[in-house]
Amino acid sequence: MSPQLTVMAGELGDIFWDLPPWFTYYPGFDIGCSIYVVNPTDTEKEYSLIARMSQNNTVISEEALPVFGYAWFKVEPEDFIQLHGALRFSQTNADLAVFLIERETEEATDSVATRLVAPTTAALPPGWPTTPGTTSFDWSSLLGVMLPFMMLGIMGVVMVSASRPKEEKLAAPQEDRHKERKLLPVGRQE
């Protein structure tokens, strides 16, 4: 029986990971990740991790993730642990969430989530123009996003070139000026 999941806004623990909000996923391959579990309280806490895969608000699978070989693990007061591992699923085009369950309350205190996108539809993030399901592209919205970055880049180039000391051209030594210059042959004339 799985615990009732209610998010408590991290009062009893927090969870973070290094996965992006979405990424291309090929079913059956490992997803390597680091998960950080933080105990913000002044007492030792026991936690469990539950992975939930869903599509269109329908739960496909839900399972406990073992930590150090056990369902529950401890975190010292006002401390954190870093967990390294890999997840593997047989689905894609789904949402993956990992919930941090606190043992005393058996409630989810925090969660992290990402979207697994099939390789054929993963050219751009979900909902971006020109991805399947979108009909047109408004270039002005892209310009509005990119213009500040382009201006910062131009200003960076200007600032770097302005901060470099000016190099003065040194006069060639007297002996080099009087050396005979070698010219390339004229080539074949027809």
CA atoms within 13 A on the CB side of 142: 7
Answer whether residue 170 is part of any domain.
no
The answer to whether position 165 is within a domain reads no
Structure confidence at residue 1 (pLDDT)? 39
Host domain of residue 93: 14-122
pLDDT at residue number 184: 55
The position carrying tokens 């369902």 is 71
pTM of the predicted protein model:
0.59
73 occurs within a structural domain = yes
Q: What pLDDT shows up at residue 81?
A: 92
pLDDT at 175: 57
Q: 22: which strand partners?
A: 115
- Per the structure, the count of domains in the chain is 2
Query: What CATH number should be reported for the domain holding residue 76?
Result: 2.60.40.10
CB-hemisphere CA count at 13 Å for 85? 13
Write down the pLDDT at residue 119: 82
> Which residues does the chain have with pLDDT short of 70?
1-10, 121-145, 164-190
Classify residue 162: in a domain, yes or no. no
Check whether residue 47 and residue 105 sit in a common domain: yes
Same domain for 133 and 116: no
Q: 74, 98, 122: which is the final residue of a domain?
A: 122
Q: Chain centroid to CA 113: how far? A: 12
48 with 95, same domain?
A: yes
